[in-house]
Structure 1
Amino acid sequence: MTKPFIHPNALCESGQVGEGTRIWAFAHVLPGARIGRDCNVCDHVFVENDVIVGDRVTLKCGVQLWDGLRLEDDVFIGPNATFTNDIFPRSKEYPEAFGQTVVRKGASIGANATILPGITIGARAMVGAGAVVTRSVPPNAVVVGNPAKIVGYVDTADHGRAEAPVAPVAVEAVHQTSVRDVTLHHLKNVADMRGSLSVGEFGRDIPFDVKRYFLVYDVPSVEIRGEHAHRSCKQFLIAVKGSVHVVADDGASREQFLLDKPWLGLYLPPMTWGIQYRYSPDAVLLVLASQHYDSADYIRDYDEFLGMTRDPLKP
């Protein structure tokens, strides 16, 4: 490692700059700021006092980091991205404490994006150029637009659209996926001039005894559901009307599925992080569960989930 490089035309008042970090011309770093190792602080960057920047962070030209901002390791901030720290700013009026904004490890924020105060950008999330982010972004999510909306998830294989069977009576089939123990099920489907019928039998087509069901409907298309895993509960998802995108994640592999047929089901075993989003306006999602409701069975923090998948003995 080498000492930090400070360009002769930069003003760095902080003594807390890590080894290997480069601060380029016309950047200004105030005395209380902390900047980690191997960072790249480009021209015309301003860093206020109550700012913590992790290791290997890239700050492109024209970025201002205001009090209350926390950037974890390996974060990328694109040119002229704008952070805010006061939801109701007034000239010469200051809040008791500025809203703290956190950008988690490996996240990227595109050029000219605007980030409102007091929110969290999840690990490895991707904020598109010009997006206006008004609320927290989940880990691995891709958001674009004003206000920013989730349009996908990074590093996610897309299973794509399941085509209807050619035969009028479909033979049930189970397809393995890239996510551990997650399976896509083509249920029996009968269609004739009188209408269509899809059927599944508990213990056969549905791979567990069902103790509970719930329906999700009237979900605004901008909303996401799920974002949790279960310790022991099994689930089976069917979009009985409309369409829903489902992301399944085992901590090592992640895949996206489009449920848009009433004969198409997705089995989610325990210890699978599940997300449902991009509901069509008419979507009705049926969820079959192997257990009665138990709040203690839920894992709602993605970092906790990752820790448990890497240490299966952890309670």
Structure 2
Amino acid sequence: MSNSAFIHDTADVKSLSIGDGTRVWQYVVVLPGAKIGSDVNLCSHCLVENDVVIGDRVTVKSGVYLWDGIHIADDVFIGPNVTFTNDKFPRSKMYPDTFAQTRIEKGASIGGGAVLLPGITIGTGAMVGAGAVVTKSVPPYAIVMGSPARVAGFVGDGADPATVSSSTRSDLPADPETSSRVGVGVGDVTLHRFKRFSDARGDLSVGEFLQDVPFQPKRYFLVFNVPEEKKRGEHAHLRCHQFLICVKGSCTAVVDDSISRKEISLDSPEIGLYLPPMTWGTQYKYSRDAVLLVFTSDYYDASDYIGEYAEFVKIARNQENV
């Protein structure tokens, strides 16, 4: 145990693995196997079992019990009376061989009174609303709330992290007979408006490949019948370019280059969104009638997908340093 850690006289701390500057307050119980990092603040009336790992600069407010199998990364905030669980089918005096692993990734925040079911991951930078009941893993930087918890938005970056900023068709020139595009502030992602012609027979929207769509597609797919609470995407591509058009209804796309994030509403067949390689894309808030058309620059290749956000960030940062 670090000599600079503060342990209140009423605390019962058996672990010797406690980092510099950590403060353990009144009536906290820490079992011998627990590993606690530096500058952690464990507020009063908390319990930390053996198979628990707490990173650096973590705040755990009062009344939180951390059971075996809970691993918490750096810079996490856990509000008062958050309830963790580690056994999906608990029975008195019956113990599983191993407890379910719950992971809270770097920079995530969990609001007071939230309940987390076992075996889930709260992604990097995510925010769980107070009183939420979290039954499944939360994507990086997602904001979830309710019972069961559902994605209500995504965390922004910069000066106002409360919610991600958005780009809409109002950012594009308004001339319907001229195609246009504008950067959204996330890497080389661009928002496009196609030409639109209207008369008594109806409306026509047209785009040309290599001019309006900046690549020659080899494949397309359609996404439809998506339940309103579900998310799609949640991956990046190493080499493949994508172009998204919501040809019916509406959905919302979140794009992320590992540094910045932006939310874009796709609600018209004359609006398209270009995603270059190494863009993390998520689509959610599908209307019941939404049909999302996606063009891709390459044929399907499973090896081109990056499905873990942490891996995506690592690859992106490595590319920046080349």
Place the TM-score, normalised by the shorter chain, in its bin. over 0.9
Alignment pair present for 1:312 and 2:319? yes
Aligned residue number for residue 91 of structure 1: 92
Partner residue in 1 for 2:65 = 64
Question: Which deviates the most, 149-158 or 185-194?
Answer: 149-158
Residue by residue over 1:24-57, the C-alpha shift from the partner in whole angstroms, topping out at 9 and shown as x without a partner, is: 0111111221111110000111111111111111
Unaligned runs of 5+ in 1: none
Going from structure 1 to structure 2, the CA distance change for 1:285 and 1:57 (only over 3 Å counts) comes to same
Partner of 2:177: 170
Q: Distance in 2 between matches of 1:311 and 1:160?
A: 28
- Following superposition, the deviation at residue 158 of structure 1 comes to 2.6
Between the aligned partners of 1:166 and 1:121, the Cα distance in structure 2 is 41
The Cα of 1:231 is off from its aligned counterpart by: 1.1
Distance 1:6 1:314 in 2: 42
Q: Does 1:218 align with 2:218?
A: no
Mapped partners of 1:124, 1:2: distance in 2: 31
Q: 1:302 aligns with which of 306, 309, 312?
A: 309
Residue 160 (structure 1) shift: 4.4
The answer to whether structure 1 residue 273 and structure 2 residue 280 are counterparts is yes
SS for the counterpart of 1:32 is: coil
CA deviation after TM superposition for structure 1 residue 209, in Å: 0.5
Q: Does structure 1 retain, via aligned residues, the 8 Å contact 2:189–2:275?
A: yes
Query: Displacement, 1:313?
Result: 8.0
1:79–1:110 CA contact under 8 A, matched in 2:
yes
- CA positional deviation for 1:19: 1.2
Assess if the C-alpha contact under 8 Å between 2:173 and 2:180 holds in 1.
Answer: no
Match of 1:75 in 2: 76
Match of 2:297 in 1: 290
The equivalent residue for 1:104 is 105
Instruction: Tell me the CA shift for residue 59 of structure 1.
Output: 0.4
TM-score under structure 1 length normalisation: 0.96
- Other-structure match for 2:269: 262
Equivalent in 172, 190, 194 of residue 187 of structure 1: 194
Which residue number corresponds to residue 233 of structure 1?
A: 240
The answer to whether the 8 Å contact 1:308/1:314 transfers is no
* TM-fit CA distance, 1:232: 1.1
CA distance in 1 between counterparts of 2:257 and 2:51 reads 37
Superposed displacement of residue 22, structure 1: 0.4
Alignment deviations for residues 228-270 of structure 1 (CA, whole Å, 9 cap, x no partner): 1111111110000111110111111111100001100000111
Q: Secondary structure at the match of 1:228?
A: strand
Residue by residue over 1:161-220, the C-alpha shift from the partner in whole angstroms, topping out at 9 and shown as x without a partner, is: 4259866x4321111110111110010111223211111111221111011000000011
Which of 199, 203, 214 matches 1:207? 214
Extract unaligned runs of 5+ from structure 2: 158-163
Paired letter, 1:231? L
**Contact kept in structure 1, 2:192 and 2:273, CA below 8 Å:** yes
SS in 2 for 1:311: helix
Structure 2 length-normalised TM: 0.94
RMSD: 1.8
The letter for the 2-side match of 1:137 is V
**Structure 1 segments of 4 or more deviating over 6 A?**
none
The secondary structure found in structure 1 opposite 2:169 is: coil
Q: Are the aligned partners of 2:63 and 2:82 in contact in 1 as well (CA < 8 Å)?
A: yes
Q: Give aligned pairs, total.
A: 314
